[in-house]
Amino acid sequence: RGGVCRFISSVRPRDVGVVSGSSLDRAMLTRPICARGTAAAAAAARYSRAGCHAAAPLLYARATSQRSRALSKAVIHSPVETDPAAVHPPFANYAHATSVPPASVFLCTSGQLGIAPDGSVPASAEAQAAIAFQNIGAILAASGAGLQHVVRLNAYVSGREHLPGYMRARDEALRGLPKTASTLMVVSGFARPEFVVEIEALAAVSSSAAASAASSA
């Protein structure tokens, strides 16, 4: 199980991106940052409607690459060091809390399952978790962020036997990055029986970096 994420931030509602239906989202009551729209997304849509299907993803990829470069060095959060005499150390590679500075922009993902873009679903929890983290990375990249900006994870597995596989995939996906706050839960199942892992992430970037990325889009 993970710790509580402590956010030291003066985030305004319009600065928060929400892409799910959890209680956290309802508390934030905002629209997704990705829903604000960019010139690149609009242009890609025009290309697609015109039948230029090859050009649309290329245009979108270029814009996403520019935004990602603008935020690539904007790792702003830090794990909160706790006193082992006051609170038991984390059971695994996570932090009891993460601290985020004021004027940060939050990006919230929906829960991601271990399904690849081609629709394939591997059998093992570790392989599904690896794909879920790849999906999270791609979603964050669409908003100009990356896994290095993740400050909190909520993960769910359908049995205790899947815990080691999930944790191996998590540690590999976040290798070398600041520790995140994390909660890991065992649930009865997911929407389809083949899924055994689901992961949702909360990321944070500085408002200045987000503004720079938006201007480059």
57-75: pLDDT as tens digits: 444 445 445 454 544 456 6
Whose tokens are 């690459």? That residue is 65
55-71 and 207-216 helices cross at what angle (nearest 10)?
A: 150
* Mean pLDDT taken over the chain: 74
Q: Which distant-in-sequence residues (6+ apart) come within 8 Å of 51 by Cβ?
A: none
DSSP state of 17: B
DSSP character string of 81-112: P--TTTSPPPSSSSBS-EE--SSEEEEEPPPE
Q: Output the pLDDT for position 208.
A: 66
Confidence of residue 202 (pLDDT cuts 50, 70, 90): very high
Model confidence pLDDT, tens digit, residues 147-195: 999 999 999 999 999 999 999 999 999 999 989 999 999 999 999 999 9
The burial of 92, by beta-carbon neighbours within 10 Å (0-12 exposed, 13-18 middle, 19 or more buried), is given as middle
Comparing 38-42, 130-134, 135-139, 179-183, which segment has the lowest mean pLDDT?
A: 38-42
pTM of the predicted model as reported, rounded to 2 decimal places = 0.65
Strand-strand pairing, 181-186 and 150-157: parallel
Q: Output the pLDDT for position 209.
A: 57
**Six-digit token string for 3:** 């710790």
DSSP state of 205: E
CB 168 within 8 A of CB 126: yes
Q: Is the pLDDT of residue 24 over 50?
A: no
